[in-house]
Amino acid sequence: MKVKSVCLFFFLVVFAPLPAMAERIPPHMAKMAARLYQGLSGEATDNQLLPERGKVRDEALETLRKMKIQQWSTKPVKIKHAATGIAKKLGLDPRKSADHARLKAFMETRGRHDTTAALNKFMTTAKRKLSATKMKRLTAEIDAAFGKNFASLETDYTEKTIDGRTVQMKWNPNTDRFFIKISGDGTGGFEEFVTIFAGDVETKLSDNGEDLDLDITSSNGPPRALTATDIEALRATILGEWQTEDDTVYRISASDERSGDIRPPREFFDKQIDKIKDKVKSIKETKIFKWLNPETGQFVRQETFRRLKDPFEYLGDGYALDDGEARIKALETEISALEFERDGGNLALKDKYDPAGFKKLSGAQGARAISIKVRRSDGYTYSYDEAVFDGRRISAKRTFTTLRDVDNLRLPNEVRRQIIKSWAPPGWLQMDASIDIQTGTIVLNGATWTLHVTYSSSLGGSPKVESIQTPYSNPLFLRRDGDNSNIAEGASKDFKL
């Protein structure tokens, strides 16, 4: 009996009529965005920006207006019953006016400073004293209560507009900050740009003492407005070291190496195959008709069939070329070889599949070869065989050569050994250079790719790899060392390389 392990992923896409844009956005984020926009009238139109950046800012504001943000609800975001647990931690009953005032003061101090400062002031005013250990525990419990209130709320939303703009909204509850980033890719009659508006989120106690209201005010100073020149200058800093949250380091260097030969497109092979098929068809359609006179031995070949009188006997038809059968066989063999090459049969797996768009990027205008070396947090290092950068995007590919390359340790060791020995398992990298919404710095956002593995094992026997196929990805986010960006890299799953 064989037990077969197979990884299958199914995605169900349900299409439904799109509601108005504000209805697609999570309600609390739409309200935050509307309140931030409402408060931009002073800072967003000031003269602190250079003229070219002022144009970028104005273009971003126009994008928001086209989204009809001025018509969205600006009511404060209300989180029901969120204050009850916090009041209980402080020993307060918000239904009593005095306790309501104390809880409100605590919230205001926490908003201006942090939980520790608010708790110290609260205890001093209440003439209560707790040991350092209990104060630390209570601080953690209150922070956890706040976090629980926000846990079910989305913190990131991205919308593509009909004119090719991208609008991203991000709320960071840990820092009480809210951002709107508007990006243009250079289409639609305006240059590439990025504008980031930032606001401060204040958590207030509702009048009923049970709920929390989230209010937002625009941050002091002008927005961060980046022109195409600014963005190009940031992308020019792509060389150097980048790292993930788990301290894996990606070192990107310039390279004089040329990327591998670009494989012709499928259409190139199809045209060649069609020409050969036409030759086969011509040979098959060009026939002769054979007759034999048994009395004299005379043999007659006809290109057009005409019945002959006795004693001629009809022997049947055949190819006009004496070696027609052999020629057809040779041409069909040539067709099979081209089909095999067209479908990637003679390619290494890293070249047969292309989930990271290496082929397209290699042929892009301005694309240039780079070198990428990776040092994992466990000290293991490896390099990508080929890598290319076109000024915006990175694509790279490699073939795994050691067991340590197959970092899914949940695969049986024998499976990992077979994969390395007999399958030339591939890996790919795809990254986009973009502007981080919170810091305004350049970041690399994308994914690593490899293949699923299918293996089987007889009861009590060793597992045997049957195939590796179907690329899958793990998200990857890289930042410069020292940036305060949130980093997250997806983990490997069962039965994946």
For residues 191-203, average pLDDT: 89
Confidence of residue 373 (pLDDT cuts 50, 70, 90): very high
Q: How confident is the model at residue 263, as a pLDDT?
A: 58
For residues 185-214, average pLDDT: 86
Q: How confident is the model at residue 186, as a pLDDT?
A: 82
- If asked whether residues 170 and 104 sit together in one domain, one would say yes
Q: How confident is the model at residue 4, as a pLDDT?
A: 37
* Whether the predicted pLDDT of 231 surpasses 90: no
User: Last residue of a domain, which of 289, 315, 342?
Assistant: 342
136 inside domain:
yes
Range of the domain at 285: 266-342
Per residue in 82-105, pLDDT (tens digit) is 888 888 888 888 888 888 888 888
- If asked whether residues 98 and 220 sit together in one domain, one would say yes
- If asked whether residues 422 and 295 sit together in one domain, one would say no
For residues 297-314, average pLDDT: 87
259 inside domain:
no
Q: How confident is the model at residue 195, as a pLDDT?
A: 92
488 inside domain:
no
Per residue in 127-173, pLDDT (tens digit) is 888 888 888 888 888 888 887 878 888 889 998 887 778 999 999 88
For residues 287-306, average pLDDT: 87
Q: How confident is the model at residue 13, as a pLDDT?
A: 31
Q: How confident is the model at residue 484, as a pLDDT?
A: 38
CB 434 within 8 A of CB 443: yes
Q: How confident is the model at residue 283, as a pLDDT?
A: 86
Confidence of residue 450 (pLDDT cuts 50, 70, 90): very high
- If asked whether residues 428 and 296 sit together in one domain, one would say no
- If asked whether residues 169 and 288 sit together in one domain, one would say no
Identify the H or E element spanning 335: helix 324-342
Per residue in 326-336, pLDDT (tens digit) is 888 888 888 88
CA–CA separation, 389 and 391 (whole Å): 6
Give Cβ neighbours of residue 20 (< 8 Å, ≥ 6 apart): none
- If asked whether residues 315 and 353 sit together in one domain, one would say no
| 104-to-209, 390, 463 alpha-carbon distances in Å | 8, 54, 64
Q: How confident is the model at residue 424, as a pLDDT?
A: 87
- If asked whether residues 188 and 161 sit together in one domain, one would say yes
CA–CA separation, 293 and 282 (whole Å): 30
8 inside domain:
no
Give Cβ neighbours of residue 313 (< 8 Å, ≥ 6 apart): 291, 292, 293, 294
- If asked whether residues 353 and 389 sit together in one domain, one would say yes
Question: Of 139-153, 220-234, 301-315, 342-356, which gets the smallest average pLDDT?
Answer: 342-356
Per residue in 1-14, pLDDT (tens digit) is 333 333 332 223 33
For residues 17-45, average pLDDT: 72
Q: How confident is the model at residue 319, as a pLDDT?
A: 86
b (16+ CB within 10 A) / e for 240-275: eebbbeeebbbbbeebeeebeeebeeeeebeebbee
Note the maximum CA span of the chain: 134
- If asked whether residues 466 and 395 sit together in one domain, one would say yes
* Whether the predicted pLDDT of 352 surpasses 60: yes
* Structural tokens at position 202: 């204040």
CA–CA separation, 139 and 114 (whole Å): 10
Confidence of residue 21 (pLDDT cuts 50, 70, 90): low
Packing angle, helices 132-150 and 82-89, rounded to 10: 180
Averaged pLDDT score across all residues of the chain: 81
2 inside domain:
no
DSSP-assigned beta bridge partners for residue 399: 426
Packing angle, helices 266-285 and 324-342, rounded to 10: 170
Per residue in 438-448, pLDDT (tens digit) is 888 889 999 99
497 inside domain:
no
* Whether the predicted pLDDT of 181 surpasses 90: yes
For residues 279-292, average pLDDT: 87
397 inside domain:
yes
> Which of the 8 DSSP states describes residue 71?
G
- If asked whether residues 64 and 183 sit together in one domain, one would say yes
* Whether the predicted pLDDT of 394 surpasses 90: yes
**Nearest residue to 121 (alpha-carbon basis) of 99, 133, 105, 132:** 105
**Nearest residue to 450 (alpha-carbon basis) of 429, 419, 478, 480:** 429
Q: pTM higher than 0.95 for the full model?
A: no
Confidence of residue 244 (pLDDT cuts 50, 70, 90): very high
- If asked whether residues 272 and 337 sit together in one domain, one would say yes
Confidence of residue 477 (pLDDT cuts 50, 70, 90): very high
Per residue in 398-423, pLDDT (tens digit) is 999 999 998 887 888 889 999 999 88
CA–CA separation, 63 and 31 (whole Å): 17
Q: How confident is the model at residue 485, as a pLDDT?
A: 35
- If asked whether residues 160 and 221 sit together in one domain, one would say yes
Greatest mean pLDDT among 199-203, 362-366, 382-386 lies in 382-386
User: Last residue of a domain, which of 308, 342, 376?
Assistant: 342
Domain count for the chain, please give it: 3
5 inside domain:
no
